[in-house]
Structure 1
Amino acid sequence: MWKWDYVVALLPKLLDAFLVTLGATLIGFILSILIGLIFAIAGRSAYRLIRWTVRSIVEFIRSTPLLVQVFFLYYSVPMLTGLAMSAFVTGVIALGLHYGTYMSEVFRSGIDAVPRGQWEAATALHLSKRKTWLSVILPQALPPVIPMMGNYLIVIFKETPTLSAITLVELLLTAKSEASVSYRVFEPYTIVGLLFLIVSLIFSYGIRRLEKRMLRRGHPEGGEKR
């Protein structure tokens, strides 16, 4: 039976853990965007060694499980370097690095879709590489890939329970701990499932709205008709 008094007592703990989960998701997502952009741009370097190194790193990370990477960063890196990190910092770095490799492929597809004439026009105008990327290429490459970026935001959010393996007290681990003490599993896991569902739906709605806004900016006349 569902006990509301137990739910009321449980909610503050779950909401605190939910904030940790949400924080790890958003920071990890931002980090994945930065890493993805760096990998995508470096993968187009004129130097073969840089291109080969970047592609090797991307393939290696994409071909190994996130959980293994989390364990390596949390347990092995401190032993090898003496640099110890908290579970939260480790988890954020692991999420950002792992999904940054996937983001790099998303950005690569967007960059490849930019017409070659845009590159040639930037060269004809004697724009620097920095100016070419920031003013010409990225403004055209990023809007079409926003839906894919949004999908990875939701995936990262749903992957945060993996971080409980390194004792990060996120939402699911908190529910497990409470269930092991109270021997009640119905309420904690139901609330966790609802929170994941609600936030995922909010993310999906926000992504759709952003996509429509970007399309209206690209086609203002069509936007007005709709």
Structure 2
Amino acid sequence: MEKETVLIIDDEKEIRDLLEIYLKNEGYHVIKASDGLEALEILQNHTVHLIILDVMMPRMDGIEACMKIRQEQNMPIIMLSAKAQDMDKIMGLTSGADDYMTKPFNPLELIARVKSQLRRYMKLNARIPQKENELEIDDLVINVATHEVTVGGKDVKLTPTEFSILELLARNRGIVFSVERIYERVWNDPFYNSENTVVVHIRKIREKIEENPRKPRFIKTVWGVGYKIET
């Protein structure tokens, strides 16, 4: 029995075919695209639960494709790139990706990340008893059943990873979470040189839910320690 559907977007046929083999061995249904434009067409006609997205592609690169996908959809996106500099990772995460891996990569590590992202995504979209549906902090409302967030009654679109970070802090109001602890709780991976990953996601959340991200009402920075949402 096949599991969720994974869309692989990469202009290198060898990589598409290699990842397809590993993903199908895990029971996933696989769809492949060679660039961003082809991927956008596929997304109009297929239900996709996770995307593996290369950065450097013809016609439409991964950064532009990611931003366009995020205008409409919130499934996890794992970005692949030969560029390993911090600024390249930050650009990828800022465009809406949930995770970032540099080429060459270990296919088994990528599959582990796919499983981790899908577990969180499917859990967020599973039915939850009504009494546990909503977390409220002033005019910020987080519906953990429908994956919807509103501030002052206005809808806010968060990626699955952004939502998981916000939910973690909202469920544990008053508790300070270090960058390392956030990463290990949300990504379900050991923390290793991943501080920028968390910081970028926190910044993106603030830009979406805070009226003034430089003076946040909700996610507070505890300097030298981490982040919290106050009670």
More helix by share: 1
Q: Which of the five TM-score ranges fits, normalised by the shorter chain? A: under 0.3
Higher relative contact order (CA 8 A, sep 6+): 1
Q: TM-score, normalised by structure 1?
A: 0.25
Q: Larger radius of gyration, structure 1 or 2?
A: 1
